[in-house]
A and B are shown apart, each in its own frame.
Chain A
Amino acid sequence: MKQRTPLLIFALVMAAIPFIPGIPPFWIVLLNNIGLAALVAMGLVLLTGVGGLTSFGQAAFCGFGAYTTAVLTTAYGVSPWLTLPLSLLVSGIAAVLLGIITVRLSGHYLPLGTIAWGIGLFYLFSKLEFLGRNDGISGIPPLSIGNFRMLDPGTIYFAIWIGVLVSALLTMNLLDSRTGRAIRALRRGHIAGEAFGVQTPRAKLLVFVYAAVLAGLSGWLYAHFQRAANPTPFGAHAGIEYLFIAVVGGAGYVWGAVLGAGIVVILKEILQSYLPYVFGGQSQLETIVFGILLVVLLQLAPTGVWPWLTARLPLKPARKEPDTSLPLAKRERAPASAGTLLQIEKARKQFGGVIAVNDVSFDVQAREIVALIGPNGAGKSTTFNLITGVLTTTGGTISVLGHKVDNAPPQEVVKLGVARTFQHVKLVPDMTVLENVAIGAHLRGSSGAISSMFRLDRADEAKLLAEAARQIERVGLGDQIDQLAGSLSLGQQRIVEIARALCVDPLLLLLDEPAAGLRHMEKQRLAALLRQLRDGGMSVLLVEHDMGFVMDLADRVVVLDFGTKIAEGTPAAIKTNPDVIKAYLGATA
Chain B
Amino acid sequence: MNTTIMLFLLQDGITNGAIYALLGLALVLVFAVTRVILIPQGEFVTFGALSYAVLATGKVPGTAWLALAMGAAAFALDLFDARRSLRLKRILRSLALNIALPAAILALTYGLAGPRTPIAVNIALSLLIVAAIGLFLYRIAFQPLAHTSVLVLLIASVGCHLALQGLGLVFFGAEGLRGPALSSAALTIGPLRFTGQSLAVYGLTIAFIVALWLFFGFTLMGKALRATAVNRLGARLVGIRTTLSGQIAFLLASLIGAISGILIVPITTLYYDTGFLIGLKGFIAAIIGGLVSYPLTAVAALIVGSVEAFSSFYASNFKEVIVFTLILPVLVLRSLAAPAVEEEKD
Which residues of A approach B to under 8 Å, CB–CB?
48, 52, 54, 101, 104-109, 111-113, 115-117, 119-120, 123-124, 127, 187-191, 237, 240, 243-244, 247, 282-295, 298-299, 302, 429
Contacts and interface: CB of A to CB of B under 8 A. Distances in A.
Contact of B335 (A109, A244, A283, A298): A109
Nearest to B327: A116
Contacts of B342: 189-191
Contacts of B327: 112-113, 116-117
B328 interface: yes
B153 to A, nearest CB: 9
Contact of A116 (B159, B174, B328, B343): B328
27 contacts: A54-B154, A101-B332, A106-B338, A109-B287, A111-B151, A111-B154, A112-B331, A116-B284, A116-B331, A117-B324, A120-B324, A123-B318, A190-B340, A190-B342, A244-B155, A244-B159, A283-B174, A284-B170, A287-B165, A288-B162, A291-B164, A292-B159, A294-B155, A294-B159, A295-B156, A298-B148, A298-B155
A295 B152 CA distance: 9
A282 B320 CA distance: 30
B287 A112 contact: yes
A571 B280 CA distance: 63
Given A117-B325, A302-B148, A288 B170 contact: yes
B162 A299 contact: no
Given A115-B280, A120-B324, A127 B318 contact: yes
B321 interface: yes
Contact of B343 (A123, A189, A244): A189
Contacts of A107: 150, 340-341, 343
Nearest to A109: B331
Given A105-B331, A290-B162, 5 more contacts: A111-B37, A116-B287, A124-B321, A247-B155, A429-B346
B226 interface: no
Contacts of A247: 155
B162 A291 contact: yes
B242 to A, nearest CB: 17
B336 to A, nearest CB: 7
Interface in B122-178: 140-141, 144-145, 148, 150-152, 154-156, 158-167, 169-170, 174
B345 to A, nearest CB: 6
B262 interface: no
A109 to B, nearest CB: 5
Contact of A284 (B160, B166, B284, B340): B166
A112 B340 CA distance: 16
Given A113-B331, A291-B159, A188 B167 contact: no
Contact of B160 (A282, A285, A291): A291
The majority secondary structure among interface residues of chain B is helix
Interface of B: 37, 140-141, 144-145, 148, 150-152, 154-156, 158-167, 169-170, 174, 280, 283-284, 287, 291, 317-318, 320-321, 324-325, 327-328, 331-332, 334-336, 338-346
A103 to B, nearest CB: 10
Contact of A120 (B165, B325, B341): B325
Contacts of B151: 48, 54, 111
B48 to A, nearest CB: 19
A517 B69 CA distance: 52
Given A106-B338, A123-B318, A302 B152 contact: yes
Given A113-B327, A285-B170, A287-B165, A295 B345 contact: no
A107 B324 CA distance: 19
Contact of A105 (B284, B332, B346): B332
A119 B320 contact: yes
Given A105-B331, A106-B340, A109-B334, A291 B37 contact: no
Contacts of B332: 101, 104-105
A291 B166 contact: yes
B169 A283 contact: yes
Nearest to B272: A284
A370 to B, nearest CB: 27
Contact of A108 (B154, B320, B325): B154
Given A113-B331, A123-B318, A294 B156 contact: yes
10 closest A-B pairs by beta carbon, nearest first, are: A291-B163, A294-B159, A291-B162, A287-B166, A288-B166, A120-B324, A123-B320, A106-B340, A116-B327, A295-B159
A105 B166 CA distance: 32
Contact of A240 (B158, B318, B331): B158
A282 B172 CA distance: 12
Contacts of B167: 288
Given A111-B151, A123-B320, A127-B318, A188 B344 contact: yes
A101 B154 contact: no
Nearest to A295: B159
Contact of B155 (A119, A243, A292, A293): A243
Counting chain A CB atoms within 10 Å of each CB, which of B325, B335, B336 scores highest?
B335
A291 to B, nearest CB: 3
A294 B39 CA distance: 14
Nearest to A285: B166
A188 B163 CA distance: 33
A314 B331 CA distance: 47
A299 B145 contact: yes
Given A112-B287, A298-B159, A104 B37 contact: no
Contact of B345 (A127, A187, A191, A292): A187
Contacts of A283: 169, 174
Contacts of B339: 106
A119 B281 CA distance: 11
A101 B328 CA distance: 8
B231 to A, nearest CB: 16
B336 A104 contact: yes
B20 to A, nearest CB: 14
B164 to A, nearest CB: 7
Counting chain B CB atoms within 10 Å of each CB, which of A117, A119, A291 scores highest?
A291
Contacts of B328: 101, 113, 116-117
Contacts of A115: 280
B304 to A, nearest CB: 12
Contacts of A112: 37, 283, 287, 327, 331
B194 to A, nearest CB: 31
A285 B162 CA distance: 10
Contacts of A116: 280, 284, 287, 324-325, 327-328, 331
Nearest to B325: A120
Contacts of A285: 166, 170
Contacts of A120: 320-321, 324-325
A287 B163 contact: yes
Contacts of A289: 163
Contacts of A113: 327-328, 331
Counting chain B CB atoms within 10 Å of each CB, which of A113, A282, A286 scores highest?
A113
A340 B290 CA distance: 48
Counting chain B CB atoms within 10 Å of each CB, which of A111, A117, A123 scores highest?
A123
A295 B280 contact: no
Nearest to A302: B152
A310 to B, nearest CB: 19
A115 B164 CA distance: 19
B6 to A, nearest CB: 24
A109 B329 CA distance: 12
A190 to B, nearest CB: 7
Contacts of B335: 104-106, 109
Contacts of A282: 170
Contacts of A187: 345-346
A112 B327 CA distance: 9
Nearest to B157: A295
